[in-house]
Amino acid sequence: MAALISKRLLRCSSGSLPSLGRCYFNSPNAASAPFYQSRYVYSRLSGERLLSAESCLVRSMIQQFSTSILTPVPDESAFPSDLLSKKALATSERTIGLCQDLLIPVTNFHNEDKGFMVLPGDVFDLPIRKDIIHRVVRWQLAKRQQGTHSTKTISEVSGTGRKPWNQKGTGRARHGSLRGPQFRGGATMHGPKPRSHAFKVNKKVRRLGLKIALSARAAEGKLLVFEDLEVLTHKTKNIVKYYNQMESTKKLLLVDGGPIDEKLKLSTQNLHYVNILPSIGLNVYSILLHDTLVMSQAAVNKIVERMRTPINR
């Protein structure tokens, strides 16, 4: 800003610093006595001291304008109005992934205001990494596979072990058993056998995947915090009424801190778009399957405690 002011002041002069001093001191906007004193000193100086006096004059003028920008005075003549910006300042949106604590409102099924809650930034405001989410989801889906697929080898297939016909003289291809893979009802070669499809993913990566999933829902505004998940009755219409009040929500996941309330379980068991989980069972795949996540305050505290617990080696 100081460089811009100096350029404008130099532009208004005729090209030399003496004319610049005259242009400034003869203008009606000159408001302070130190500048007149500088002009008097400037007129008395000559020879080798001329250059230092001119630089001091420009430095004092820039300092005067700079302080006017930082601490404006009520008098409009203290600063040229044409140098003031008319553009309105706009606040920038929150940057995601800076590990900053989030302040979100707390409500309930009746949309009552229950105050605010601070979500720790090291759990709910991490940078979004799709590669970590992909690894954790693949690990979950592979680990939950039953792996009970099985086929029979030639020794397990039911059938006779007798040689079907003579080795020579029939004109047919030679065979030693009817249980081979080339015959109908025969064995399957190199087929699947019961096994585990699970593979290893480090605990740090699994924990990071859950933090990223929670951070993504918080960044989208799809993370709601309830004081508790208690309902008055077990009627399904109460949950349906609350679901209809929510905008752009297709599937809802309710997470409670402790055991699931029996009334809440009965009220949601007939709704395919509303599911319930305890905080200990919260996982990345379930969060991604539901576009809206509703957590109780107890669940948030349990999740934060779980994420901050040291990993056992």
Beta bridge partners of residue 254, listed in sequence order: 276, 294
Percent of the chain clearing pLDDT 70 (strictly above): 70
Closest by alpha carbon to 124, among 210, 188, 206, 47? 210
The string of pLDDT tens digits covering residues 260-272 is 999 999 999 999 9
Domains of the chain, by residue range, sit at 2-83, 102-145+200-308, 151-191
Q: How confident is the model at residue 205 (pLDDT cuts 50, 70, 90)?
A: very high
State the pLDDT at residue 312.
Answer: 83
Q: Pull the structure tokens for residue 51.
A: 């250059």
Distance between CA atoms of residues 30 and 9, nearest Å: 13
What's the Cα-to-Cα distance from 95 to each of 14, 37, 125, rounded to whole Å? 48, 50, 10
Model confidence at 140, in pLDDT bands (50, 70, 90)? very high
How much is the pLDDT for 15? 46
- Are 62 and 24 a contacting pair, CB within 8 Å? no
pLDDT tens column, 190-200: 999 999 999 99
- 125 CB-side CA count, 13 A: 16
Class of domain 102-145+200-308: alpha beta
Q: Is the pLDDT of residue 36 over 50?
A: no
Rounded to the nearest integer, the mean pLDDT of the chain is 80
Q: What is the mean pLDDT of residues 216-221?
A: 93
- Of 7-21, 44-58, 278-292, the poorest mean pLDDT is in 7-21
Alpha helices (H) along 145-289 = 203-220, 236-245, 262-268, 284-289
Give the C-alpha distances (Å, rounded to integers) separating 185 from 151, 157, 176, 179, 191.
Answer: 12, 8, 16, 7, 14
Give me the pLDDT at residue 87, please. 52
Is the pLDDT at 77 greater than 60? The verdict is no
165: pLDDT strictly greater than 60 = yes
Q: 44-48, 156-160, 172-176: lowest mean pLDDT where? A: 44-48
Percentage of the residues of the chain whose pLDDT score is greater than 90: 61
Q: Which of 24-33, 245-254, 283-292 has the lowest mean pLDDT?
A: 24-33
- CA 277 to chain CA centroid, nearest Å: 23
Q: Which two tokens stand for residue 241?
A: 């009424």
Tell me: the pLDDT tens digits for 13-25? 444 444 444 444 4
